[in-house]
């Protein structure tokens, strides 16, 4: 049975990905999230960099950290109600999905050691730009905030993560080199 699983590359990948997801779920839900230090760190960092960009665009930024029991950071442009950046919106879930896929998918460890941190940084930057864009939407077209938050930016951010996965699977995984050498035969 074990030999069948390891030889069936798709099944092996899916089992590894499920195992990593289960590990992340237990780690996050039982330990990291209740402590909220990781969530607070990421949300505060998002608000800091978003505020810097908003100020560099010539606006007066509002930002504050709400009660720690709420795990909400507020960021926005002066004159608006701003945005709440909470645990579901800080990108940690995307970080976990991205890292889990790269770890579960074949590839050299040395490539994973640089691709994962660069991917996480780029996802974080995309999330900062998403927050700045949503702040601008709140200022100029507040009635479209819910739609853009729920659909436009969710699709864009997940599409970006998918694009990173495609880069990994096509350029840096062992599978792309195996497929390339087999096509030459």
What predicted TM-score, i.e. pTM, was given to this entire model?
0.83
Domain boundaries, the chain: 36-184
Among all chains, which residue has been given the structure tokens 């504050």?
64
Give the model's pLDDT for residue 173. Answer: 87
Give the model's pLDDT for residue 146. Answer: 95
Q: What is the mean pLDDT of residues 165-172?
A: 94
Three-state secondary structure call for residue 83: strand
User: Is residue 91 left, alpha or beta, with left meaning phi > 0 and alpha meaning psi from -120 to 50?
Assistant: left
Which of 143, 16, 27, 138 shows the shortest CA–CA distance to 77?
A: 138
pLDDT digits (tens, 9 = 90+) for 70-121: 667 889 999 999 998 887 888 888 998 899 999 999 999 999 999 999 999 9
Q: What whole-number distance in Å separates Cα of residue 63 and Cα of residue 65?
A: 7
Give the model's pLDDT for residue 26. Answer: 82
Task: Tell me: pLDDT of 175 over 90.
Answer: no
Task: Tell me: pLDDT of 23 over 90.
Answer: no
Task: Tell me: pLDDT of 183 over 60.
Answer: no
Percentage of the chain with pLDDT > 90? 53
Any idea which of 57-71, 117-131, 146-160 has the lowest mean pLDDT?
57-71
What is the rounded average pLDDT for all residues in the chain?
85
């Amino acid at each position: 049975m074990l030999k069948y699983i390891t030889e069936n590359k798709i099944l092996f990948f899916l089992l590894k990905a499920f195992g990593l997801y289960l590990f992340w779920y237990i780690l996050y839900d039982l330990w990291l999230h209740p402590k909220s230090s990781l969530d607070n760190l990421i949300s505060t960092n998002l608000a800091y960099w978003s505020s810097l960009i908003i100020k560099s665009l010539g606006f007066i930024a509002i930002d504050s950290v709400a009660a720690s029991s709420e795990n909400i950071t507020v960021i926005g442009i002066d004159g608006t109600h701003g945005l709440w950046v909470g645990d579901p919106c800080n990108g940690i879930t995307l970080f976990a999905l991205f890292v889990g896929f790269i770890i579960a998918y074949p590839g050299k460890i040395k490539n994973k050691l640089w691709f994962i941190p660069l991917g996480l940084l780029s996802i974080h930057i995309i999330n900062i730009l998403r927050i700045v864009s949503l702040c601008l939407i709140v200022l100029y077209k507040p009635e479209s905030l819910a739609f853009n938050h729920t659909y436009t930016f969710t699709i864009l951010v997940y599409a970006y993560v998918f694009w990173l996965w495609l880069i990994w699977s096509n350029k840096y995984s062992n599978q792309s080199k195996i497929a390339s050498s087999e096509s030459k035969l």
